[in-house]
Chains A and B, each alone.
Chain A
Amino acid sequence: MSAPLLEVRDLTKRFGGLLANDSVSFSLEAGEILGLIGPNGAGKTTLFNSVAGFFAPTSGSILLDGTQVAGLAPERMAARGVARTFQIVRIFRSMTVLENAMVGAMLRSKARSAAESAAREVLAFAGLAARAGDPASILTVAEQKRLEIARALAAGPRLLLLDETMAGLTPGEVQEAVGLVRRIRARGITCVIIEHVMEGVMPLVDRLLVLENGRKIADGAPAAVAADPAVISAYLGEDVDAAGP
């Protein structure tokens, strides 16, 4: 049996007195779409940052294809096929849309012409072909988020980490984003998505992982997780009377 694409074991990340991730474990098979949800401050983005190499975990291990990668720098993780987007979009504002995607493509091919054709392909895939020549700074929020996804795809990842790509979108745009993630999976790319927009997450993901206060409280099929009392109490708070003396 082959190793899962990503396996996180007892991952702990501490910032001084704050325990942002508390021995979180999960694994991810190639081709899966995993949803990562939880209240604000649950440690979702911290987990992303550890997997993408931006944070070195305090303890625990991160295995990519069975190889230990915990603590590798983000640029090394990118070279190993882990790409990400950011909660607050970080597009290259002084560049055009095409140039943004080209920077991603240059991870696989340093030659300009090859990078350009790869970039045009992902822009078309993300529905931004018509915007290729525009300055990235004039895009709408929804387009900027799609550009970040296109740029990450241009880097040719196996694992794509999407951090709140649906936040702030209109219902129509959320549906487009859901379609885009499905098509990304169809390209053979495994996705982990952090999302608060439930109507975007529930129909999309194969599995949901719920964090609360840095700890994993549920992991399973979306419907089962949504019915889990621990998850409901995490989101809605405990019943005051039941918790009282």
Chain B
Amino acid sequence: MIRRLLPLATAALFALALPLLVSRPDAQNTAILMLMTAQLGVAWNILGGYAGQVSLGHAAFFGCGGYVSTFLFLQHGVSPWLGMIAGALAAAALSLVVGWPCFRLRGHYFAMATIAVGEIVQALVTNWEALGGAVGLSLPVTESGWRGMVFNQSKLPYYYLALGLLALSLLVNHGVARSYLGYYFRAIKDEPDAARSLGIGLTRYKLAAIALSSALTAAGGTLYAQKELFIDPGSVLATGLSIKISLAAILGGVGTLFGPVVGAVVLTAIEEASRRWFGGSGRGTDLVVYGLLIVGIAVFRPEGIAGLVRRARSRAGAAA
């Protein structure tokens, strides 16, 4: 127990103290991006990792969170905290509507259908005047503070918000993995027919997985909107974002609790480095990196970084 909790406590302490050690705003921003990507990877992992239903349309849920909270604030003055909950519920509802038909498809066909869903949602919002269309929505730079979830002076509070949301997502993930839901999700992923023969209704539990996953993803979308104070279809609904979310989990190791966190840190570091090296001329290099990573994972390490760690551990165990 202590052997398991000690690394966790160390990591938590490190994450809490990191902003005190790193004061450069750009470095802090990178750390925030890492946490936000990690949170999205953890959320994606419930559906894609545990239940094995690879979604390449999660930007739709991310955008749903951002748009619902921003719209509610602009039109009705609703607090972003409530907006975050509303966005999560809206994304869960949306996920049930799209999941119902898409879950009739298995494997690659499901993944392809989710790409279509993501593209359709992006096209809809781009042409939706009330949501700002292609121009997007801007949040006013109002008074800074926790109540409005807006901070002008320092980005630091966003760091702790992202950390808190990541912790919440990890807790949910952990709870799901330990409950019968986690067992059922894995059973569906391993052998769907055997799962059915044991009383597990596939559509029902896949819908449970996508609802949980999309609600957490949407919460990340609200946080993004509050941090950037601006959202448009290109930034929160793009298929590239969907791929990035799934890649964080796949790179780190699907179906493991901390795999997506590791994957997100590595992915964000590579992305930021390439941005710095290539500067403005390097637009799109991150996409090249994604592509190379996908090929690399597929060829060398389908279990991701977590699989690498597990292998090293069992080797160390065998040597001892």
> A75 with B199: in contact, given A103-B184, A106-B183 (CB under 8 Å)?
yes
Enumerate chain B interface residues (CB-CB to A < 8 A): 178-180, 183-184, 186-187, 189-191, 193-202, 255
Establish whether residues B186 and A75, one from each chain, have CB atoms under 8 Å apart when the complex forms.
no
Contact of A78 among B187, B189, B198 (CB under 8 A): B198
Q: How far is the CA of A74 from the CA of B198 in the complex (A)?
A: 8
> Measured between alpha carbons, how far is A103 from B183 in the docked complex, in Å?
6
Q: List 26 A-B contacts (CB under 8 A).
A: A53-B196, A54-B193, A54-B197, A73-B196, A73-B201, A74-B196, A78-B196, A79-B199, A86-B193, A90-B191, A91-B191, A92-B187, A93-B191, A94-B189, A94-B255, A95-B186, A95-B187, A103-B187, A103-B198, A104-B198, A106-B183, A106-B198, A107-B199, A110-B180, A148-B194, A152-B197
With a cutoff of 8 Å between Cβ atoms, the chain B residues found around residue A106 in the complex are: 180, 183-184, 198
Looking at B178, B184, B194, B198, the one whose CB has the most chain A CB atoms below 10 A away is B198
Kindly state the separation between the CA atoms of A103 and B199 in the bound complex, as whole angstroms: 9
Query: CA of A99 to CA of B195 in the docked complex: distance in angstroms?
Result: 13
Q: Assuming A99-B183, A106-B180, is B190 touching A94 (CB within 8 A)?
A: yes
Closest to A99 in B: B183
When C-beta atoms are compared, the residue in chain B nearest to A110 turns out to be B180
Contact partners of B179 in chain A: CB under 8 A: 110, 112
Give the Cβ gap from B181 to chain A, nearest Cβ, in Å.
9
> B197: which A residues are within 8 A, CB to CB?
52, 54, 74, 78, 83-84, 86, 152
Question: With A106-B183, A115-B180 as given contacts, are A75 and B196 in contact (CB-CB < 8 Å)?
Answer: yes
Let me know if A155 is at the binding interface, CB within 8 A: yes
B196 touches A112 (CB 8 A): no
Contact status of A155 and B198, CB under 8 A, knowing A94-B189, A103-B184: yes
| 5 additional contacts (CB under 8 A) given A92-B186, A106-B183 | A75-B201, A79-B199, A84-B197, A94-B189, A151-B194
Known: A110-B180, A112-B179, A115-B180. A155 touches B199 (CB 8 A): yes
Residues of A within 8 A of B (CB): 52-54, 73-75, 78-79, 83-84, 86, 90-95, 99, 102-104, 106-107, 110-112, 115, 148, 151-152, 155
In the bound assembly, the distance between CA atoms of A110 and B199 in angstroms comes to 12
CB neighbours (8 Å) of B201 from chain A are: 73, 75
B189, B191, B197, B255: residue with the most chain A Cβ atoms closer than 10 Å: B197
- Roughly how many angstroms separate A90 CA and B189 CA in the complex, as a whole number? 12
User: Shortest CB–CB separation between residue A87 and chain B, in angstroms?
Assistant: 11
Determine whether the beta carbon of A75 is less than 8 Å from that of B200.
yes
B276 to nearest A CB, angstroms?
39
For B193, list chain A residues within 8 Å (CB): 54, 74, 86, 90
Tell me, rounded to whole Å, the shortest Cβ–Cβ distance linking A51 to chain B: 11
**Residue from B178, B190, B195 in contact with A112 in the complex, judged by beta carbons closer than 8 Å:** B178
CA–CA, A84 and B199, complex, Å: 11
Q: Which of A90, A107, A110, A115 contacts B194 (CB 8 A)?
A: A90
Cα-based distance from A111 to B189 in the complex (angstroms): 21
Point out the residues of chain A lying under 8 angstroms from B190, CB to CB. Answer: 92-95
- CB contacts (< 8 Å) of A83 on chain B: these are 197-198
* A79 contacts across to B, CB distance below 8 A: 199
A195 to B186, CA, bound (A): 30
A155 CA / B183 CA spacing, docked (Å): 14
Contact of A102 among B183, B189, B255 (CB under 8 A): B183
Q: Which residues of B contact A53 (CB under 8 A)?
A: 196
Measured in the bound complex, the distance between the Cα atoms of B179 and A107 in whole Å is 13
B180 lies within 8 A of A92 (CB):
no
Nearest CB of A to B207, in Å = 14
A17 to B316, CA, bound (A): 58
What residues of chain B lie closer than 8 Å to A86, measured between beta carbons?
193-194, 197
By a CB distance below 8 angstroms, the chain B residues around A84 are 197
- Per the bound structure, the CA–CA distance linking A75 and B202 in Å amounts to 9
**From residue B150, how far is it (CB to closest CB) to chain A in Å?**
42
Question: In the complex, A92→B187 CA distance in Å?
Answer: 6
Chain B residues, CB < 8 A from A155: 198-199
Question: How far does the alpha carbon of A104 sit from the alpha carbon of B194 in the complex, in Å?
Answer: 10
Contact between chains at A94 and B200 (CB < 8 Å): no
Quote the shortest CB–CB distance from B132 to chain A (angstroms): 44
Q: Are B196 and A151 in contact (CB under 8 A)?
A: no
What is the CA–CA distance of A151 and B190 in the complex, to the nearest angstrom? 15
Given A73-B201, A112-B180, A115-B180, are A103 and B195 also a contact pair (CB < 8 Å)? Answer: yes
| Chain A residues closer than 8 Å to B200, beta-carbon distance | 75, 103
**Complex contacts, B194 vs chain A, CB 8 Å:** 86, 90-92, 148, 151
**Which partner residue on chain A sits nearest B205 by CB separation?**
A75
Give the CA-CA distance A106 to B202 in the complex, in Å.
15
